[in-house]
Amino acid sequence: MPTGQTLAAVVVLKGEASRWPAFAAAFLGVFLIFGVGFAGPSVIHNAAHDARHIHAFPCH
């Protein structure tokens, strides 16, 4: 039987932990966006060219 204090600690920990999936997803999203919009290699630039122009990423 947890005391009030340990119960509060468990609740706080769970609340903190439940945010990590969202942070991980957002990080993955930023990684993808930078890959699509800014990745430097000419091959990626050429393949993504039209999509970059239309999404208003700075291109060239």
Partner 1 sequence: MFRRIFFAAVLGGLVAGGIASAVQAVRAVPLILQAEVFEEAAGKAKPHDHAASATHDHDEDAWAPADGWERTGYTLLFNLLAGIGFGLLISAGLALSGEGGWKTGLAWGVCGYLSFVVAPALGLPPELPGTEAAPLVSRQLWWTATAAATAAGLALILIRRGAIGIVLGLALLALPHLVGAPHPAEQGGAAPPGLVREFIIAALVSGLVFWLALGASTGAIYRRLAAA
| Closer to partner 1 by Cβ: residue 6 or 50 | 50
Residue 17: count of CB within 10 angstroms of its CB: 9
Q: Does 3 bind partner 1 (CB under 8 A)?
A: no
24 belongs to the binding site for partner 1 (CB under 8 A)? yes
* Radius of gyration, alpha carbons of the chain: 21
Does position 11 bind partner 1 by CB under 8 A? no
The footprint of partner 1 on this chain (CB under 8 A) covers a number of residues equal to 36
Q: Does 16 bind partner 1 (CB under 8 A)?
A: no
Angle between helices 42-54 and 20-38 (to 10 degrees): 100
